[in-house]
């Protein structure tokens, strides 16, 4: 096993995937370093599953080049054996129960931890002897989650793993993921459209929208990359003039504006002087804002001129 840290383990160049009438991936280039938890975020149909499929050679790109662990993954058992990707709509053999699915996984994933799988099955209260096709949606998700965690593959993908899981089960998943990750370093790519729920787990965020990469940055950097100011409309308009605006909202005389960029100390003092409230923007809000139009412009109706406003 190679060192899971730092070095680039996934490199894709100009990858496009076209279905008959849609372009699921549009000229995507991306580098992913090992040893982190990545969030692959985006709306339904944004291209998350397609991207993971082509990375694991379960699907095929229309054009472009993919390298995982330095080699093309297609028909490459050497590379594939270090990867685990259970899709959200994973199919299992008709007559399999969860125990048999785990027995299979033990054959193919060299780091498989049977005791861990058993403990997770207890946590999720998963009936091991019931046929998988008779399980509920949540239990089906649990089977995938358990295989993903207990395989301890160097590169593990989770594809919307929480579907049908209740809040308690979801929390169990997040907790186990973090615990196990801290003991067994590896690279985890977690696709999700429930951004707030997973935001705290993520070290790096990749946002995909309409088949294009919108954001590819450290989670920390993104969290500080925007802020919201709230106050009377005219003052907010004055304060935000000349800044890059992601979103505007107003209610009566009050306005709330989300601004792209880091707020300097001077800016913070200025906002305080104007009686404006400054709040951080959650990852979810930020992504929603950056994938939508900002909304109608606030009117300044001359008020700004009364105030001495520095840019």
Considering beta carbons, is residue 92 or 162 the nearer one to another protein?
A: 92
In angstroms, give the least distance from the CB of 247 to another protein: 38
The count of chain residues that interact with another protein, using the rule CB under 8 A, is 34
Residue 205, token pair as written in the block: 């965020």
Helix (H, G, I), strand (E, B) or coil at 136: coil
Q: How far is CA 163 from CA 38, 125, 209, 245, 301, in A?
A: 19, 16, 20, 34, 49
In 3D space, the residue among 68, 13, 44, 26 whose CA is nearest the CA of residue 214 turns out to be 26
Considering beta carbons, is residue 13 or 133 the nearer one to another protein?
A: 133
For residue 271, count other CB atoms closer than 10 A to its CB.
Answer: 21
Q: How far is CA 295 from CA 120, 130, 168, 188, 249, in A?
A: 46, 51, 37, 36, 8
153 near another protein, rule: CB under 8 A: yes
295 near another protein, rule: CB under 8 A: no
280 near another protein, rule: CB under 8 A: no
Which stretch in 21-29, 91-99, 224-232, 237-245 sits in contact with another protein by CB under 8 A? 91-99
Token look-up 């009377």 returns 232
Helix (H, G, I), strand (E, B) or coil at 52: helix
In angstroms, give the least distance from the CB of 116 to another protein: 18
In angstroms, give the least distance from the CB of 151 to another protein: 9
3 near another protein, rule: CB under 8 A: no
Indicate the DSSP class of residue 144: H
Burial class (CB in 10 A: 0-12, 13-18, 19+), 21: exposed
Considering beta carbons, is residue 29 or 110 the nearer one to another protein?
A: 110
Quick one: which of 98, 101, 145, 201 contacts another protein (CB under 8 A)?
101
CA 55/CA 69 separation, integer angstroms: 11
163 near another protein, rule: CB under 8 A: no
67 near another protein, rule: CB under 8 A: no
Quick one: which of 25, 86, 172, 257 contacts another protein (CB under 8 A)?
86
Where on the chain is the footprint of another protein (CB under 8 A)?
Answer: 53, 56-60, 75-77, 80-87, 90-96, 100-101, 103-105, 107-109, 147, 153
């Amino acid at each position: 096993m190679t060192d899971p840290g730092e070095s680039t383990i996934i490199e894709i160049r100009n990858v496009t995937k076209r279905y008959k009438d849609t372009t699921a991936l549009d000229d995507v280039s991306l580098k992913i370093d090992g040893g982190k938890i990545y969030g692959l975020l985006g709306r339904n149909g944004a291209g998350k599953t397609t991207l993971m499929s082509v990375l694991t050679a379960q699907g095929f790109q229309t054009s472009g080049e993919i390298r995982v662990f330095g080699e093309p993954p297609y028909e490459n058992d050497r590379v594939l054996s270090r990867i685990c990707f259970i899709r959200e709509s994973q199919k299992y053999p008709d007559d399999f129960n969860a125990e048999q699915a785990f027995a299979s996984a033990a054959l193919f994933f060299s780091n498989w931890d049977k005791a861990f799988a058993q403990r997770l099955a207890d946590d999720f209260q998963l009936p091991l002897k019931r046929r998988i096709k008779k399980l509920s949606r949540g239990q089906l998700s649990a089977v995938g989650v358990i295989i993903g965690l207990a395989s301890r593959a160097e590169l593990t993908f989770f594809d919307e793993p929480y579907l049908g899981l209740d809040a308690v089960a979801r929390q169990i998943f997040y907790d186990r993921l973090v615990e196990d990750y801290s003991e067994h370093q590896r690279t985890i790519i977690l696709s999700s459209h429930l951004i707030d729920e997973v935001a705290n787990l993520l070290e790096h965020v990749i946002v995909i929208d309409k088949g294009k990469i919108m954001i590819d940055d450290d989670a920390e950097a993104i969290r500080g990359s925007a802020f919201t100011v709230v106050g009377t409309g005219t003052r907010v308009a004055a304060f935000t003039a000349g800044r890059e605006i992601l979103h505007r909202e107003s209610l009566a005389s009050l306005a709330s504006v989300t601004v792209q960029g880091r707020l300097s100390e001077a800016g913070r003092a200025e906002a305080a002087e104007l009686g404006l409230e400054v709040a951080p923007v959650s990852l979810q809000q930020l992504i929603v804002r950056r994938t939508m139009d900002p909304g109608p412009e606030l009117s300044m109706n001359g008020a700004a001129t009364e105030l001495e406003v520095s840019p």
